[in-house]
């Protein structure tokens, strides 16, 4: 059965890889792409989302501009590994298309209201758009099918602070608001995404797929040093082939108070830790690397053929 999704993102090299994976997968129907500030400022994330659609000849998918700053804080510095343009500074053109007129927040509300229980949010960046939508229209919370997101670090160190992952750190209040919403959640934190490594040998194999594969490979090669982690593609891969991953049920909270641990995800899994609370999230911890890459390779090839 096809899963109807909204991709909420801050492209971002790994966001681009995730969006292109979705384009090649009939298991998901993309209702729209909503952009948010995160890896880079909003004007760039929104433009990058449109450009990714153009590269894959998928301009039928609307792109909506979302929130340009966190709920309570000024925008924090993004992650320089994505390059100044957010897509690895590999010389990609500027998009020719224009963003949709509606805001990302209104689009999310409208889509959920139009199809109660049938819309999944695939959240690849900070959760600001989702938190604002829930604040404006709290009644949509029980109408959202589920949220599958990249964010947090359950049982491992962070990547922006000692215990904080970037998406949660960028807007901790938004992350906590969403985690407390009662919506079914699936979490792809650093525990699993740091295991989703793509080797140089596999990156070279992507280049042989054609122009789309070569573009993805070039972005990945510019994305940090060594073998990069495929953080955001894990979210889309789970929606396509959930058996690639495994995890544990837990109760996830986000620290919004401490000056030392702001943005830290606090995950309770044992009976003692839960203290009578029901788990609010499926926390992914393991990935089958070979199956993940095989899926990527197959679906990027499909995007290549369909874009021709």
The tokens for 228 are: 């990069």
In whole angstroms, give the CA distance from residue 149 to residue 146.
Answer: 10
CB 94 within 8 A of CB 47: yes
C-alpha distance from residue 2 to each of 31, 225, 264 (Å): 12, 36, 34
- Which string of DSSP letters, residue by residue, matches 271-305? HHHHTTPPP-EEEEEEE-HHHHHHHHHHHHHHHHH
C-alpha distance from residue 111 to each of 15, 42, 53, 63, 284 (Å): 22, 22, 20, 14, 27
CB 218 within 8 A of CB 256: no
Query: What is the pairing mode between strands 265-268 and 3-9?
Result: unpaired
Ranges assigned E (strand) in 142-238? 144-150, 185-188
Would you call 231 a catalytic residue per the annotation?
yes
Q: Which one-letter DSSP state was computed for residue 116?
A: T
Q: What is the largest CA-CA distance in the chain?
A: 56
**The one catalytic residue among 82, 173, 194, 231:** 231
C-alpha distance from residue 270 to each of 90, 126, 154, 163, 275 (Å): 46, 27, 13, 20, 9
Active-site positions? 231
């Amino acid at each position: 059965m096809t899963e109807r999704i909204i991709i909420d993102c801050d492209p971002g090299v790994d966001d681009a890889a995730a969006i292109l994976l979705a384009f090649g997968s009939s298991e998901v129907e993309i209702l729209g792409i909503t952009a948010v500030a995160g890896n880079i400022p909003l004007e760039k994330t929104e433009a990058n989302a449109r450009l990714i659609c153009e590269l894959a000849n998928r301009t039928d998918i609307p792109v909506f501009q979302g929130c340009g700053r966190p709920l309570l804080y000024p925008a924090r510095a993004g992650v320089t590994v994505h390059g100044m343009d957010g897509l690895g500074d590999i010389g990609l053109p500027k998009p020719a298309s224009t963003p949709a007129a509606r805001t990302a927040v209104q689009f999310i509300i409208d889509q959920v209201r139009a199809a109660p229980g049938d819309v999944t949010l695939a959240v690849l960046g900070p959760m600001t758009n989702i938190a604002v939508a829930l604040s404006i229209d709290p009644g949509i919370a029980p109408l959202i099918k589920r949220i599958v997101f990249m964010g947090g670090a359950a049982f491992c160190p962070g990547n922006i602070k000692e215990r904080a992952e970037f998406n949660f750190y960028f807007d901790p209040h938004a992350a906590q608001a969403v985690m407390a919403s009662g919506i079914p959640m699936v979490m792809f934190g650093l525990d699993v995404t740091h295991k989703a490594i793509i080797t140089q040998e596999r990156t070279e194999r992507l280049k042989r797929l054609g122009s789309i594969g070569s573009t993805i490979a070039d972005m990945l090669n510019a994305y940090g040093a060594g073998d990069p982690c495929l953080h955001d593609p894990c979210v889309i891969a789970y929606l396509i082939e959930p058996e690639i991953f495994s995890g544990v049920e837990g109760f996830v909270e986000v620290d919004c108070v401490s000056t030392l641990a702001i943005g830290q995800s606090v995950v309770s899994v044992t009976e003692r830790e839960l203290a009578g609370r029901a788990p609010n999230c499926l926390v992914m911890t393991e990935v089958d690397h070979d199956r993940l890459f095989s899926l990527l390779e197959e679906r990027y090839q499909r995007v290549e053929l369909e874009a021709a």
